[in-house]
A and B are shown apart, each in its own frame.
Chain A
Amino acid sequence: MSAVLVVCEIRDGKLKKTSREALSIGRKLAGQSGGELQAVAFGPDASSAAEEAGKLGATKLYAVSHESLKAYSTEAITSALAQTIAEANPAIVLLGGSSDGRDLAPRIAARLNAGVASDVTSLEWADGKLRARRPVYSGRAFATVEVHSSPAFATCRPNAFPAEESGGGASQVVEIAWEPVEIKARLIESRTPQTGELMISEADIIVSGGRGLKEADNFSIIRDLANALGGAVGASRATVDAGWIDHQHQVGQTGRVVGPNLYIAAGISGAIQHLAGMSSSKHIIAINKDPEAAIFRVADLGVVGDLFTILPALTEEVKKAKA
């Protein structure tokens, strides 16, 4: 009855991690609501998601395969999704907390006069309603909200829901015939940065550096450890403002909010605005020479010491352990 529809994004021929996470919690919700788990994907390779979506529990994949949906456009995808929702009639629509997911959710919800629980860290179906928990005030409080609309929308915070396969077969593909609409905001160019670095919003492991690094060149110490661990490089705002590293790496209230499995903070004092961006990480290690540093209050393992000697030693140990 109460179906759950998950909006899926495909990148390099695979489902994005945020979509895999949304499908996984979607499967649990479908279990609670007694409805089916459905997926929807857009663009010429939309139906290629059937295999992966099926493994994650989606029985049906709506494919809006129109050529013009190759790149994301708010106006086009909103229209295509509205048409899919009209056909699929879900009680819940979930989106991953990606840039596009967060662009799309409020737009489609307003079109359908529906509510969105944004950036949620837990979800359940209770008393015929979607109930969500979400951090507010930059993690200084948690709100439990209920969405009183059908469908009810939610965007899932990256890394909050583990992606778990259920071992199902490929989803049944249902093609949606959609007519393009007028586009007023057009994508002219997409620029990927020079570096092939892993982005902090998607990483399982983040190694972050702060002003304790003293100068820009010393970010190499952070980079070496991140590379050895297969993680991403994060940064405090002080280092971004100093021009040591690009803003894309900033963790915190005015940077990115991250929740990786492992967060290592070196030479970061732990200002409230920094904690807002990382305190929901599952495991936190802090290295700081000041025993009173606020970062130790959220650290699972705190090491009082000099990052310039400890980190290089750690990088060597990690390399040895991996060899």
Chain B
Amino acid sequence: MNSVVCISQVPDTEARIKIAASGRQIDEAGIKFIVSPYDEYALEAAIRLREAKGGEVTVLSFGPDRVAQALRECLARGATKAVHVKGDLTELDSLAIAKVLAAAIREVPHDVILFGKLGVGTDNSLVGPMVAELLGYPQVNVVTHLEPGDGKVTVHREIEGAEEVIESSLPVILTAQKGLNEPRYASLKGIMAAKKIPIDTKSPADLGLSDGDLEAKVKVTTLELPPEKQGGRKIEGTDPAAAAAEILRYIKEEAKAL
């Protein structure tokens, strides 16, 4: 069973976000980039599929030079092939990214194609299902359990207040949720082995996509920091009864929740 895992590289979840001079992007200077946390669950799931059923695990990322580092990390953890589509994402939208990924996926063996349920940063949850549509494959989003079968997979999908059990034919697109597995760390052996695997590097043009194909439908006009929230009132040193009374007053009079 061959898998492809789409990896997005994102600013560290604790990074202090600054706005670039353009006023439309973040300032990347000094920011540490990591593999988007949900993509780690996707990668782990693919490695486990390989352990159970054999096949390749191809990691795929579209982005600038720095994403090669993220791909190396994934190879060290157990991916067997890596594809880097080089390009600047700053003026692109999810659909353009999906078009590039779909074209790249067509060129590698694939039965299960995994994504994160959300790219931490864009916070969109769009790319996976868009790729599914472009390739004409079924999709299951927010997957918490994955069981490979013969020519099919059985997965659990998390929805509000319930869980669905879904069976899908292959190829299929799955987006990974926390809880799907516990991602492993890279071993020293893995890190050494990864150094020998070449990263297949190409451009969107190599995949037959023109600038026109990638014209963004969703354009960022401004990016701003959130209004600095001033901590409100703080009460200290009151006895529990008085504290409870003040909270109750707030709930009733200000939040109007009672």
Contact = CB atoms under 8 A, between A and B. Distances in A.
Interface stretch (A51-59, A83-91, A191-199): A191-199
Contacts of B244: 310, 313-314, 316-317
Given A140-B226, A186-B168, A317-B248, A229 B258 contact: yes
B134 interface: yes
B111 interface: no
Contact of B165 (A106, A191, A254, A296): A191
Contact of A107 (B11, B38, B130, B246): B130
A76 B165 CA distance: 17
A145 B221 contact: yes
A204 B126 CA distance: 27
A144 B220 contact: yes
Interface string B46-88: 0000000000000000000000000000000000000000000
Given A103-B129, A139-B226, A205-B257, A302 B166 contact: no
B258 A107 contact: no
Q: Give chain A's interface secondary structure class.
A: mixed
Given A75-B138, A137-B11, A272-B14, A148 B216 contact: yes
A316 B19 CA distance: 47
Nearest to B130: A110
Interface string B224-252: 11100101111111101101111110111
A298 B240 CA distance: 22
Label chain B's interface by main secondary structure.
mixed
B98 interface: yes
B63 to A, nearest CB: 16
A189 B159 CA distance: 13
B231 A229 contact: no
A185 B17 contact: no
A300 B232 contact: yes
B95 A109 contact: yes
Nearest to A296: B231
Interface string B201-226: 00000000000000011111111111
B257 A144 contact: no
A107 B236 contact: no
A301 B161 contact: no
Name which of A184, A187, A190, A304 has the most chain B CB atoms within 10 A of its CB.
A184
Interface in A119-143: 119, 131, 134-143
Contact of B129 (A107, A148, A316): A107
B249 to A, nearest CB: 9
Given A116-B94, A136-B123, A191 B234 contact: no
A199 B50 CA distance: 36
A70 interface: no
A313 B235 contact: no
A147 B129 contact: no
Contacts of B219: 145-146, 148
Nearest to A298: B229
Given A99-B159, A108-B133, A314-B248, 8 more contacts: A107-B139, A116-B124, A135-B123, A142-B226, A190-B165, A201-B160, A285-B250, A305-B238
A283 B125 contact: no
Interface of A: 74-75, 78, 98-100, 102-103, 105-111, 113-119, 131, 134-149, 183-193, 199, 201-202, 204-205, 229, 247-248, 253-255, 261-262, 272-273, 279, 282-285, 287, 291, 296-306, 309-310, 313-314, 316-318, 321-322
Interface residues of B, number: 86
Contacts of B217: 113-115, 147-149
A189 B164 contact: yes
Most chain B CB within a 10 A radius of its CB, from A74, A185, A262: A185
A309 B218 contact: no
Given A99-B158, A115-B93, A297-B231, A273 B13 contact: yes
Given A107-B130, A137-B121, A199 B161 contact: yes
6 contacts: A98-B159, A99-B158, A107-B130, A107-B132, A115-B95, A186-B167
B243 A302 contact: no
A309 B240 contact: yes
Nearest to B178: A254
A140 B228 CA distance: 10
Interface string B19-39: 100000010000000000110
